[in-house]
């Protein structure tokens, strides 16, 4: 459920209201109780909210190089031998 920002044109108070998407817009002020004086403001929203222990860049890191090395140990040994022969 989103949070909407409202402003009263009579007393000029700005307030937030937690409403469902299908709920009707309010028109009466919660402070001065004037009728039909409240307008809904357009806002940028809150963005993403992360909850939990945390998110780290290493959580989704591509580990294909490590898998490749571990699956082909003979290839890496052959490369080392060739480097030694060149020197």
Mean pLDDT by 10 residues, the chain (87 residues): 89 91 90 93 73 68 61 58 57
Q: Cα angle at 5 between 10 and 24, to 5 degrees?
A: 90
At residue 36, the pLDDT reads 93
Determine the longest span between alpha carbons in the chain, in angstroms.
90
- Residue 3's pLDDT is what? 85
Give the pLDDT score at 29. Answer: 93
Please check whether residue 25 lies inside any domain of the structure: yes
| Domain membership flag for residue 32 | yes
> Domain tally for the chain?
2
Give the residue numbers spanning the domain of 11: 3-41
| pLDDT of the residue at 31 | 93
């Amino acid at each position: 459920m989103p949070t909407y920002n409202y402003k009263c044109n009579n007393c000029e108070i700005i307030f937030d209201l937690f409403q469902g998407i299908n709920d009707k817009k309010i028109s009466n002020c919660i402070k001065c109780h004037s009728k039909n004086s409240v307008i809904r403001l357009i806002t940028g929203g809150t963005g993403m909210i992360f909850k939990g222990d945390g998110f780290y860049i290493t959580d989704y890191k591509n580990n294909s190089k490590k898998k490749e090395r571990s699956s082909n140990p003979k290839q890496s040994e052959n490369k080392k031998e060739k480097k030694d022969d060149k020197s």
